[in-house]
Structure 1
Amino acid sequence: MSGAAERTRGEPRTASILRQMRVALGISQLELALRLGMSQRHIGFVELGRARPSLSLILSWTRETGGTIDERNAALVSAGYSPALLESAPAECRQSAEIRTLREMLVAHEPYPGIIFDADWTVRAMSEGGQWLCSVGMPGLLEHDGVPSSEIDMITAVTHPAGLLSKVVNAAETGRALLRQLRLEQLTRPSLKARVDRFEESLTARYGAAGKCARAPGDTHLKVILDTEYGQMTFLLVQTVFGLPQNVTQKSLRSELWFPFDDATRVIMTTRRRLGLAAGNQSTKQVMR
């Protein structure tokens, strides 16, 4: 086997991705070198996998060749760097194509609860089913703070005495499962620490320092049982991240979809939608019973 063939067979994925960007634009190595202000020889070495591109070179290369965010992040990840996604301001985030797509997903998930939240655990969008469940599961918190359902601090929502855990039957293990997840996220997002500390203090005060955790580290699903005025409701919660694997960062928006775990919960949620049930409506409560 020739040396050229060996280099082709063994060249890093990064080199292949970068070369494809240049070829797709239809420019030569020399033209790209002039645009980037470096030698053609270095461009050639990068495309052969003989030189490792720097972070700044990958970003510049992508910009000059018109590469997509997906291609850029694929090149970054394969070269050993973290994906580079700009963190949008909340107002911009809500108007982005990503949040519009996620809102459509929430609509498709009706009549069941679903939320979209960010890395700070602030709700950015919520389904109608989710808003209804908030009014049933933590009416004391919403009445006390007057917080719109689209701006709920999810950590506060479980820390507050009148928050969601006040209605959860398996509150101790649910709270500890959430605490474990938050402590792991805190390792790379220290800004969460103060709120997570308060949450842990509230759990200890309510349920003691030790106890069973409902899931293993890294799991993002959870079974939650709610004791409501409409009856006991059991849900399976599943968290997911939207986007291609190379685009996912800690700043990526996440979804949490609640699926009915039994027929009784399914009936309550579907009846709520059909009758336009609102919390506090005595007549519809009687119909469901």
Structure 2
Amino acid sequence: MDQQDPVRPSARGSRHFADFATALRYWRDKRGYTQLRLSSESGISQRHISFLESGRSQPSREMVLKLGIVLDIPLRERNVMLLAAGYAPAYREGRLSDPELAAVKQALDFMLTQHAPYPALVVDRLWNLVMANAPATMMMRWLLDMPNDTPLPREGVNVLKLMLDPNGVRQHLLNWKDVCADLLHWIQREAMSDGLGSEAASLLDELIALPEIGETTRLPNLDARALPFLPMQIRKDGVALNLFTSIATMGTPHDVTVHELRIESFFPADDGTARWFREHAAGA
């Protein structure tokens, strides 16, 4: 392999660092840390950090984990750093259907159920749909003109693509450009947190390539808002809905899968919207 290449392809085709020294330099630069600042916050001497980055010293497993915490590296990428240093991953990455995550799945089911009659979704870090409550399924069917008995697919559905596709939800969003700016901001944050060969950056490129989306790649105009949140203004079949969302995480320092989940809850921004969801829940 060319010695100038700082990364190597893994068996799955993703890109990993060729060695720990390269990984540490990459993340320190990405976080904007000097060696002195990293030394001060980690309690590791600047001399030793310099030796680690030059490859003259090799870290212990505990040191890799400490540096990952100080640099606020995502759990998935901390595993990559451990592999680059010659250690086994520290953070498990399973599936929500695994028996070990049954309690988490039960908690998510409870939260989604309790949020009814309003929609709520669970997505992964790339906004792929993982779970949805009944009101979310009803709203998606209505917006996408799907028959009521059609199940909402769980595999291969990306919520961001669904929202921003001109043939998807976007055609019913009156303020789609503002919503677009917010959604792109979220995935841009994920791309900034990812390591080399970022899946989030690839998704961001896909979204920007959608018709008219590239023209809206700007930060949300917070100063222009009369409300302390961004409403989603939906209009379809003579129905006007005003919603806003909150996003929560299942923070855990142990499991990559759970750490990357996002819970998006929709709330009514006016009485008419609240009444519409209550009536549809009663008629379900």
TM-score relative to the length of structure 2: 0.59
Give the drift of 1:229. 2.2
Q: Which residue of 1 aligns with 2:80?
A: none
Distance 1:224 1:247, change over 3 A: farther
Give the drift of 1:90. 5.3
User: How far apart, in 2, do the equivalents of 1:98 and 1:160 lie?
Assistant: 32
Q: Which residue of 1 aligns with 2:125?
A: 119
User: How far apart, in 2, do the equivalents of 1:225 and 1:55 lie?
Assistant: 53
Aligned amino acid, residue 107 of structure 1 = T
Distance 1:224 1:249, change over 3 A: farther
CA RMSD of aligned residues (A): 3.8
Which residues of structure 1 form unaligned runs of 5+? Answer: 1-48, 60-72, 277-289
Q: Which residue of 2 aligns with 1:26?
A: none
Q: Which residue of 2 aligns with 1:89?
A: 95
SS at 1:107 equivalent: helix
2:105 maps to 1:99: yes
User: How far apart, in 2, do the equivalents of 1:203 and 1:94 lie?
Assistant: 42
Distance 1:150 1:209, change over 3 A: closer
Q: Which residue of 2 aligns with 1:223?
A: 231
Q: Which residue of 2 aligns with 1:213?
A: 220
Note if contact 2:121-2:265 (Cα within 8 Å) is conserved in structure 1.
yes
Q: Which residue of 1 aligns with 2:48?
A: none
Q: Which residue of 2 aligns with 1:258?
A: 266
| From 158, 163, 172, the counterpart of 1:167 | 172
Distance 1:138 1:153, change over 3 A: same
Which residues of structure 2 form unaligned runs of 5+? Answer: 1-42, 46-58, 76-89, 224-228
User: How far apart, in 2, do the equivalents of 1:203 and 1:175 lie?
Assistant: 12
Output aligned runs, 1:24-103, within 5 Å: 56-57=61-62, 77=69, 85-89=91-95, 91-92=97-98, 96-103=102-109
Q: Which residue of 1 aligns with 2:14?
A: none
Question: How far does the alpha carbon of each residue in 1:44-68 deviate from its partner, in whole angstroms, 9 at most, with x for none?
Answer: xxxxx999xx763499xxxxxxxxx
| Larger Rg belongs to | 1
* Mean Cα deviation higher: 191-200 or 119-128: 191-200
* Mean Cα deviation higher: 252-261 or 193-202: 193-202
Give the drift of 1:77. 4.2
Aligned amino acid, residue 172 of structure 1 = K
SS at 2:282 equivalent: helix
Aligned amino acid, residue 245 of structure 2 = L
TM-score relative to the length of structure 1: 0.58
SS at 1:264 equivalent: helix
2:193 maps to 1:185: no
Give the drift of 1:188. 2.5
Give the drift of 1:180. 1.7
Distance 1:204 1:95, change over 3 A: same
Aligned amino acid, residue 168 of structure 1 = L
User: How far apart, in 1, do the equivalents of 2:100 and 2:130 lie?
Assistant: 7
User: How far apart, in 2, do the equivalents of 1:55 and 1:88 lie?
Assistant: 26
Give the drift of 1:212. 6.8
User: How far apart, in 1, do the equivalents of 2:184 and 2:72 lie?
Assistant: 30
Give the drift of 1:272. 0.2
SS at 1:257 equivalent: strand
Q: Which residue of 2 aligns with 1:46?
A: none
Q: Which residue of 2 aligns with 1:8?
A: none
Aligned amino acid, residue 249 of structure 2 = V
2:273 maps to 1:273: no
Report the count of equivalent residues.
204
Identity of matched residues, %: 15
Aligned amino acid, residue 154 of structure 2 = S
Note if contact 1:94-1:100 (Cα within 8 Å) is conserved in structure 2.
no
User: How far apart, in 1, do the equivalents of 2:174 and 2:256 lie?
Assistant: 33
